[in-house]
Amino acid sequence: IDQIAEAAIDGTRKTLLAELTAVPLLIIDDLGMRKLPHTAAEDLLELIMRRYERASTLLTSNRPVDDWGKLLGDTAAVTALLDRLLHHAHVLKCGPRSWRTKVATDLRPEPLAK
């Protein structure tokens, strides 16, 4: 999302969106973990609309979908975005516990008996 905002500034937005639209699988990881540009909702909506029913998109976020309107600052754009994104989606909820913490705990050796 940051790359699209930067591309708008340097005049390469159209080219970048074409490239992101063309890849068979686009992965957007950790949406909302950092402060998003003010154009994030519109940029993400345009990208999802271009890819809708044409290519696969994998999106991860620690933020609940209900918070995306506030997170992206445009409830109408987020509603349209989620309508397309969730239409053919498989939603996986991993729960509040971090998988990294669980794996680290599972891999920790048992203390030696004295």
44 vs 113, residue with greater confidence: 44
Q: Tell me if 97 is assigned to some domain.
A: no
93: left (phi over 0), alpha (psi -120 to 50) or beta: beta
pTM of the predicted model as reported, rounded to 2 decimal places: 0.76
Number of separate domains in the chain:
1
CATH number, domain containing residue 75: 3.40.50.300
Q: Domain range spanning residue 10?
A: 2-90
**13 in a structural domain:** yes
Any domain includes 107: no
Q: Quick one: pLDDT at residue 113?
A: 66
105 is a domain residue: no
**Structure confidence at residue 101 (pLDDT):** 73
Residue 99 has pLDDT above 70, yes or no: no
Q: What is the pLDDT of residues 41-96, one digit of tens each?
A: 999 999 999 999 999 999 999 888 889 888 899 899 999 999 999 999 998 887 77
Predicted local distance difference test score (pLDDT) of residue 3: 93
Q: Is 45 exposed, middle or buried (0-12, 13-18, 19+ CB in 10 A)?
A: buried
* Percent above pLDDT 90 for the chain: 57
Range 33-44 average pLDDT: 89
pLDDT score for 48 = 95
Residue 19 lies in a domain: yes
Angle of helix 13-22 versus helix 40-51 axis, rounded to 10: 40
**Angle made by CA atoms 17, 21, 94, in degrees to the nearest 5:** 110
Q: Say if residue 109's pLDDT is above 90.
A: no
Q: What is the rounded CA–CA span in Å between residue 35 and residue 61?
A: 13
* 3-state SS, residue 56: strand
- Residue 69 domain-assigned (yes or no): yes
Residue at 34 is within a domain: yes
Q: Considering the domain boundaries, does residue 114 fall inside one? A: no
